[in-house]
Amino acid sequence: MEFPWWDKKSVSLFDQILFLPPVMEGALPLAFEQELFVEFCSGNGLWIVQKALENPQNLWIAVEKKLERAKKIWNRAKRLGANNLLVVCGSAENLVTAILPGPIVKEVFINFPDPWPKARHAKHRLIQETFVTELQKKMLPGGKITFVTDHAPYLEQGLTVFEKTMKPLLPEPFYGKDPENYGCSFFEEMWRKKNKTIHYTVYANH
């Protein structure tokens, strides 16, 4: 399958892939015809392509900032016929702030985002108050966010950040559970083989 060409300077929509440049000057929000199911930090797309195939009535969006990985997701979606999946090659922050129109997102999934384990690097983690505040504006009422991590300090950061804008959905303790039929990502498979504890937290928009 031939991957579309991209100049890396402008927002470009090709066949099932939306490229976002690092600088989004002048970008306008896109119009979507149905509510969205979004996964941030999709990696090679194992989890989301499966979800798109299982739920063909939904529009799924895989967001991955690395070009090589976005390419893998796109190829997988094309090969398996997941026509209801749009790959976004760009940062989650740029998609949320510049491209998503008003409240349109039904569900968000953040599976194993980079943990940046050193305390001095924690500022690079995706889940920050500014990001989640912007994201919440794009969520439909009752929309949900699922955050999955094996990294305890990131779990703690997620609890603190999400609880400011969203409400926890699962009863206490609402982490360390293994939801049925959640699906499995590349990192989940890897950490499960190493017997790591996986923490799932789910939040609902008010």
Ligand X SMILES: C[S@@+](CC[C@H](N)C(=O)[O-])C[C@H]1O[C@@H](n2cnc3c(N)ncnc32)[C@H](O)[C@@H]1O
> Which residues lie near ligand X (CB under 6 A)?
40-43, 63-66, 69, 91-93, 111-114, 126, 185-188
What length does the chain have? 206
112 vs 203, beta carbon nearer ligand X: 112
Write out the two tokens for 89. 């090659």
The DSSP-derived string for 76-97 is HHHHHT-TTEEEEES-HHHIII
Instruction: Give the angle 85-91-94 at the CA atoms, nearest 5°.
Output: 100
Nearer to ligand X, 17 or 126 (CB): 126
Nearest residue to ligand X, scored by beta-carbon proximity? 43
CB of 33 or CB of 46, closer to ligand X: 46
Handedness of CA 94, 102, 38, 31 (dihedral sign): negative
Identify which of 107, 174, 176 has the alpha carbon closest to the alpha carbon of residue 144. Answer: 107
Residue carrying structure tokens 């398996």:
80
Is the Cβ–Cβ distance between 176 and 199 less than 8 Å? yes
- Has 150 been annotated as catalytic? no
Q: Which is nearer to ligand X, 36 or 126 (CB)?
A: 126
User: Which residue type occupies 89?
Assistant: C
Q: How far apart are CA 82 and CA 167, in angstroms?
A: 32
CB of 102 to ligand X, least distance (A): 21
Helix segments in 63-172, DSSP class H: 67-80, 92-94, 129-137, 152-165
Q: Which of 7, 114, 150, 178 is catalytic?
A: 114
CB of residue 175 vs ligand X: minimum separation in angstroms? 17
Q: What tokens were used for 150?
A: 């094996």
Residue among 190 and 206 whose Cβ is closer to ligand X: 190
194 Cβ neighbours under 8 A, 6+ residues apart? none
* Catalytic residue set: 114
